[in-house]
Structure 1
Amino acid sequence: MFDELHPAQFPGTVEVTAFLDGAQEAVLVHNAGVVEPLRAIGTLDAGMVMSAVQVNLLAPMRDRRGWVVHSVNPGCMDTGMREVMRRTPGEVWFPARGRYSRLAADGDLPAPDDVARRIIAYRLP
């Protein structure tokens, strides 16, 4: 695993090419994202915003030359990010908090492992 906030630790083109040598296909699952700090944009400092942009937007775009990229939206699942959203204090503007709380209370948030199995079955029938 690599920390998206520290891209220098990622393998370079030479290492990736050697790792994939002889492979007919490679599947990369980019499963990173951050939701904290969950506050109104105007209350965040530039460093907080840049960290979120780095992980959520720029990291998936990094070094994808020549790759075919498919996007799969797994929908809502019961992750640590959803827990953060559900326990966000009421004074923080977050209109979907009630929806996520209801989904969790009703047992309608699948476990990440179940979602991963669905994605693998979709990609590797």
Structure 2
Amino acid sequence: MKAIVTGTSRGLGAAIATTLLERGIPVLGLARQHNPALTQPGAACTQTALDLSNPDALARWLADGEMARFLADEDAVLLINNAGTVAPVGPLGTQGSAAVAQAVSLNVAAPLMLADAFVTAAPAANDRRILHVSSGAARNAYAGWNVYCATKAALDHHARAVVEDGVPNLRICSLAPGVIDTDMQVQVRTSDEARFPARERFEALKRDGALVPPAVCAARLVGYLLSEAFGDSAVADLREVAPA
């Protein structure tokens, strides 16, 4: 078994990669920057520096064939689309077209491009699994997060439609992981309240110790990803399918 994980430079992506490596599963990490913690002696981790918000750069990387070479002859393969951004935060008219395009590229175009290439790169695998890291924001609207909500909802519906495709030997799930203590949460708590009115709610989660450490979330997520139950539902919440 081998796994491809995006956004491995920090946060949940780094924790997922670490958890997989601890289980003896080689990882190909895709992120803008390498993570030195994943390159310890003996770690079966390959890291590729890649700006996933740049569709042209991602298309060139996919055409180079590194994914196919990494997955060659593997019977069981995993793709975890974790990389994402909450920016731009704010109502329409305050976001900026470039920031919107960058968010849609990273949150939607990259996962969909990788998913398509992943299936092509591992045609002989008897067990192919794709996990989109979604969000509760895909299912609940928040003022100031219209781009984030829309892009995460796109992943949910992509998973539903892929199930309808009936691709052989493929399981997929768009999974909301819960509220995790990552840099994204820091960004949320420091948002201008005028642009994100729900900021106080997220500040309270931090004060009350309700944020889940990335390592804890990653352990639950990987456990679910590798379980027989994975893919039974195209859209799920980790807190419901793998409770603490």
Q: TM-score range by the shorter chain?
A: 0.7 to 0.9
1:36 equivalenced with 2:87 (yes/no): yes
Instruction: Map 1:71-110 onto structure 2 (within 5 A).
Output: 71-92=174-195, 94-110=196-212
Tell me the TM-score normalized by structure 2.
0.46
- Aligned equivalents of 1:18, 1:102: Cα separation in 2: 46
Percent same amino acid at aligned positions? 33
Secondary structure of the residue aligned to 1:43 is: coil
The residue identity in structure 1 corresponding to 2:189 is R
Secondary structure of the residue aligned to 1:70 is: strand
The residue identity in structure 2 corresponding to 1:77 is I
Instruction: Map 1:1-125 onto structure 2 (within 5 A).
Output: 1=30, 2-7=50-55, 8-9=57-58, 10-12=61-63, 14-65=65-116, 66=119, 68=170, 69-92=172-195, 94-125=196-227
Extract unaligned runs of 5+ from structure 2. Answer: 1-29, 31-49, 120-127, 129-169, 228-244
Offset at residue 14 of structure 1 (A): 3.3
The residue identity in structure 2 corresponding to 1:111 is P
CA deviation map 1:7-52 (0-9, x unaligned) = 4253437332222112111111111111223222211221111001
Offset at residue 75 of structure 1 (A): 1.2
Equivalenced residues, count: 124
Between 1 and 2, higher relative CO (CA 8 Å, sep ≥ 6) is seen in 1
The residue identity in structure 1 corresponding to 2:219 is R
Aligned CA-pair RMSD? 2.0
